[in-house]
A and B are shown apart, each in its own frame.
Chain A
Amino acid sequence: MLADIRDASLRTRGLERIAWARRSMPVLNAIAGELDLTGRTVGLVLVLEPKTANLALTLRDAGADVIVTCPASETADDVAAALVSEGVAVLARSDASPERDRAFALRMLREGLDVLADDGSRVVRLAHAENLLGGLIGAAEETTSGLRPLRVMADRGELRIPVLAVNDARSKYLFDNVHGTGQSCVMAALDLTGLQLAGAVCVVAGYGYVGQGVARYARALGARVVVTEVEPFAALRAHHEGYEVRPLLDACPDADLVFSATGVAHTVTREHLRAMRPGAVVAVAGGVPDEVEAGDVPAGVTVLAEGECVNCAAAEGNPIEIMDLSLAVQALAVDHLVRRGSTMAPAVHLLPEELDERVARLKLRALGIGLDTPSARQREFLGRGL
């Protein structure tokens, strides 16, 4: 079995954290029995922490050979050790250099994957560049910023495998991007700095799904929130939800805490950093390279987690219940690719609607929440089209 991890003796703590997460993952538990991945090799490139470890174990229990790899900054060594002790192949260590991380990804690809679950589309793009697609049936992509380059590749006719857009499933982005990322990025920034949010000014660059969540949780804890945008509808939406909307350069001098929630490089530039006052703190909730130009930060300004996404690089990632939804989508996407991938065109595809809805219904059932059903008279009304 492949294993290159930092310290196998950390496994007990890793196993404890995996078991604690499992208690709050009813949806993944419910679908586990329905997956059939016998004899398949699945590569996982998700943030290596207790929740994604439960996905790895679920896929293993469904019969797959699972290989996990993850960049150093997002690797929890205790969870890596726990997975190895459970018979999962892991190539990930928190002390790996970028070159070694790349070598891990290449080694995983050379093992001959059937399906890849990627985050940021780093390994899908690497497999294209290095001609290592081999027998890969397809890939599932976790996040907004990973899908963007894949759609560009598809438009240019360069994408050679089908990709399922896990991020674009409603049971993922409506909860993970908004509530999970919002809560966990705000709390990570407070844990790292000791800042009191009540009465502080918090600037949120970008009011997409992630920005809406960050703004909401910062406001819930008492901050005065200022939103910055480049897109008119997003800006108007923020305005109507009660936030001050201003250009970023204008807001910087007032800020105690600045989040970039755009997922676009060069959102917070050196010029913005120079406009901040001493004591200001900057955090990334998006997570692409150079989202904050963290090269030479002016004295007195702090960029958290070296400009990497603050909840993944400096805390335990998104909350467990939220990852239960996202990882259930991932598991169904992997299973769907195994069953149908060979008939799918090389393009970015949405997860079939019925699988997405199944995740939402399973979550409602786990919560004990009942729904109404439209009555016959209502269905008749709707059918009339009036």
Chain B
Amino acid sequence: MHRWLVALIIAMGGAAGAAASGLERVPAVSHPATAKECGECHMAFQPALLPTGSWLRITDGLADHFGEDASLPADLAASIRAYLAANAGRSGDPKVTRITEQSWFAKEHRFRASVWQRPEIKTKSNCLACHPRAEQGDYDDD
């Protein structure tokens, strides 16, 4: 389907395709500090991909961030925390910090284990490996 047509359908209040997750198009990261600091080691994930509680857990624990030290000066961390929380998604389990462990993610990504192990993919969180426009918040690839 043409991109403009999809946009038109959404604008008219219709549902586009198999929009089960409701996350096929999410607003791009619009906070420069978040784009910079959270986009260094991996793509800066869009706030709509996790609920507020998950973002608070993540931004309160940056010194031990999935085994990495991602700590930031307090004022910078606070401004990123506020941006992510204010723009968080409405669905998902706030106790789960990984996007890739949310139940919607599992439903949308039922692939054989061998797919995840491909060297160019490396990890489930490497959205860009499969969604070329992921940095714009576009996960609608068909």
Bound pair: A and B? no
Residues of A within 8 A of B (CB): none
